[in-house]
Structures are given as C-alpha cells and as structure tokens.
A and B are shown apart, each in its own frame.
Chain A
Amino acid sequence: MTAAIFYTLLIISGTGGEMCVSRAMKTVGEVQDFRPQALARVVLRALTVPWMWIGLAMMTMGFFALLGLLSLANVSFVFPATALSYAAGALGGKLFLGERVTPQRWLGVLIVSVGVALVFVGKS
C-alpha cells in the first residue's frame, strides 16, 4: 500500500512538477538571446514566476517519493515502472498545458514508454 502511494506520488509529482516548470517558462517567453548573461537573466526571471517554485517543489517531492519507493521495491521494478510518466506527461500536457497531442505524438510517446521500460528491464 505504501509502495502504491509512493508510486502515485512519483508519477504525479514528478510529471506535474515538470509541467509547472514548462508553464512557468511559457510565461517567461521565448528565449532569443543565447549569450550567458542573457541566459542568467532568463533563469532569474523564471524564479520570479510562482509556477516555477510550485514545479520545483513538486519535482523535489517526486524525488523523495522515488527514494521512498526504492526503499520498498526492487530497482528492476521501480525504473521500468517510471516509464508511465511519459503517458502521464502527454495526458497532462494536453489537459493542463493545452498542447495539441496528435495521434502521431501519442504513438511516439507510447513507443518511447515501451522503449524506456525495456532499457531498464534489460539492465537488470
């Protein structure tokens, strides 16, 4: 039961955090100047957007959920299972970020998920 809670938290917090960071960066606006000083200003500006802090907090929570899950379940289960985050990301991107996830993109995400799971299964 605890493992299931950690797993759910890992997928939701990890992916949700990345989506919040994505939302924050859309607020900052498209980066067009790639000089180091300009990039430093972009990072500082991003840190003024609340979505960035929510995202970082959620990603931190996801990281601790991963540590918790690793203390309860085998690595050979945990890492292949995280491939679900790609599907969760596609769904969240569509619903939360309003991105147009075409059937082609869904297919690509599905293939990548299976591929990531196989990479970890093949490692163990």
Chain B
Amino acid sequence: MTAAAGLRAKTFALIFLMVVFGPLGDLLLGKGMKRIPAMTSWAPRDVFHFFASAFTSGTVWLGIVSLAGFFIAYLVVLSWADYTYVQPASALSYGLIALLAYFALHETITPTRWAGVLLIVLGVSVVGHTSPQTTGQAAPQTTPQATEDRSW
C-alpha cells in the first residue's frame, strides 16, 4: 500500500468510527434520559437527584462512552487530516441516521430527506477524492516539552 493510500485508508477508518459513534451516543443518551424522571425544579436538591439518577443509568453511560469514542476518533483524525476534509465527511452521520430510522425503526423518510441523504453521500464522495492532507506532512508526535514550545 502506498503512503497516500495508507493515509486515505486510516482517515476513512477514523471518519467511519466518528460517523458510527456520534449518532449512537446521541441515541443512547436520549434513550437513557427519557427513562429517568424529569427535573421538577432548579432547587439544588432536585438538580442533584436528577443527575444522580442519570448517572445510575447504564444506557446513559453507554451513550457517554460512545460519545467519548467519537471525540477521540475526531481528535485522532484531525492530528493529520484537514479540517476541511473531516468536517464535510462527518456529515455522513445524517445519512446513517436516516438509514437506521428507515430500516431499523421502520420510520417514514420523506423524499426530500432521501434527496438530502443522496446529496450528502455525493458531496462526501467529491470531497473524499481530494487529498486528506494539504498542509504538508503532519509533524510526528513530540515530547510534551517540545509540544509546549511550539504550541502557539
């Protein structure tokens, strides 16, 4: 595999993780939060009980872990890939949500929404044919001291 092909493959792999973990985290968090009693007031005691019950939910924790996975994948891919490459490509998650809603939840998807999904896939494929890295070879990881020196 050439260096360019390897770069593209690992960029796609990380974007795939973002596209899967992001919506999955949102879904799990939403599902978990719906199962806990709504906050009745802003009194400190009620706020504490609300968050305490949220953090006892396994689904909420799965959502948090999934969103953490999304964020780590996001940070890792941005360590070498262009922001202008990653940002539009991550819009594929909207397509995945629509497909899940249609096939898994049997929701009705309007023709307008399908058209949007198709355009996102087309747009991402256009962006995907450009180089993931246009600012030169990203610097290899350095020691914390060296990083601090050139952090601005």
User: Which residues of chain A have C-beta atoms less than 8 A from B110's C-beta?
Assistant: 122-123
Interface string of B82-114 (1 = CB under 8 A from A): 111111100100110010000000000111111
User: Which residues of chain A have C-beta atoms less than 8 A from B114's C-beta?
Assistant: 122
Within the complex, the shortest CB–CB distance from A110 to chain B, in Å, comes to 7
Chain A contact surface mostly: helix
User: Which residues of chain B have C-beta atoms less than 8 A from A49's C-beta?
Assistant: 147, 151
Within the complex, the shortest CB–CB distance from A96 to chain B, in Å, comes to 9
Chain B contact surface mostly: helix
The 6 closest A-B CB pairs, nearest first, are: A118-B116, A122-B113, A115-B119, A111-B123, A122-B112, A108-B126
Contact (Cβ within 8 A) B138 A26? yes
Q: For the complex, count residues of A whose C-beta is within 8 A of B.
A: 54
A-B CB contact pairs (8 Å), 17 listed: A25-B76, A31-B80, A34-B76, A48-B144, A48-B147, A93-B84, A99-B83, A108-B123, A109-B84, A109-B123, A112-B123, A115-B116, A115-B118, A115-B119, A115-B120, A119-B120, A121-B112
B-to-A contact residues, CB < 8 Å: 72, 74-76, 78-80, 82-88, 91, 94-95, 98, 109-130, 134-135, 137-142, 144, 147-148, 150-152
A-to-B contact residues, CB < 8 Å: 18-19, 21-22, 24-32, 34, 39, 42-43, 45-46, 48-51, 86, 89-90, 92-94, 97-102, 104-105, 107-123
Within the complex, the shortest CB–CB distance from B32 to chain A, in Å, comes to 19
A111 to B117 alpha-carbon distance, docked (Å):
11
